[in-house]
Each structure stands twice: as structure tokens, then as C-alpha cells.
Amino acid sequence: MSKGKFALGAIFGAVVGAVAGVLAAPKSGKETRAELKSRANVIKTDVTKKAETVAAKTTEAVVDAKSKAEKVVKEAKTEAKDLKGRAERALAGAKKGFNSKK
């Protein structure tokens, strides 16, 4: 089970538990609605903070991945250029050796 699914399940369970607890309490309808509204605001604030944290971490991961990909591409281009140079030198040497035997 992924951490995201677990966290979503935990939040859902907390909401259901809070609503069930409030509804089972011996309070008037007005008091119950006020408490539900208060708890909903607390949960909303908590979820908003967690969503912002996830968004920030996701952005950080994307930037990091892009940086690593750019580094790999640069290294690959350098390696390809080096191999091309080596191949050209080898071909020139082979041509020189072939022409000198004639």
C-alpha cells in the first residue's frame, strides 16, 4: 500500500470518526453543527497544509530530475563526441596504412 493511499485513508477515517463522535454526543443541533463546522475547518487547514507540502516536494523532485537528466544528456553528448573523434582517427589511420601499402 502506498503512503498516499494510507494517508488518504487515515484522513477519511478521522473525518468519519469525528462526525460519528459529534453525532453521538448529547448536544443540541446548533451545538453539533457548530462543532462539525469547527472540526471541518481544522481538517481543511490540515489537508491544505499537507497538499502544499506535497506540491513543494513534487516541484523539488521535478527540478532535481530535470537537473539529473540534463547532466546525463551532457555526459552522453561528450562521450559521443569523444567516440566520434576516436572513430575518425582510427579511420584516418586505417586509410593511411592502406594507402602506404600500395
Q: Which pLDDT belongs to residue 93?
A: 86
Q: Which pLDDT belongs to residue 67?
A: 95
Q: Which pLDDT belongs to residue 102?
A: 59
Q: Could you report the per-residue pLDDT of 59-94, keeping only the tens digit for each? A: 999 999 999 999 999 999 999 999 999 999 988 888
Q: How many helices (H) and strands (E) does the chain have?
A: 2, 0
Listed in sequence order, the residues at least 6 apart from 22 whose beta carbon sits closer than 8 Å to its beta carbon are 32, 35, 36, 39
Buried b (16+ CB within 10 A) or exposed e, 12-42: eeeeeebeeebeeeeeeeeebeebeeebeee
State the distance between the two ends of the chain, measured CA to CA, in whole angstroms: 72
Going from N- to C-terminal start, the domains of the chain cover 3-100
Q: Could you report the per-residue pLDDT of 8-53, keeping only the tens digit for each? A: 788 878 888 777 776 776 777 788 788 888 988 998 899 899 899 9
pLDDT at 97 over 80: no
Average pLDDT, the chain: 85
Q: What angle do CA 42, 47, 52 make, to 5 degrees?
A: 130
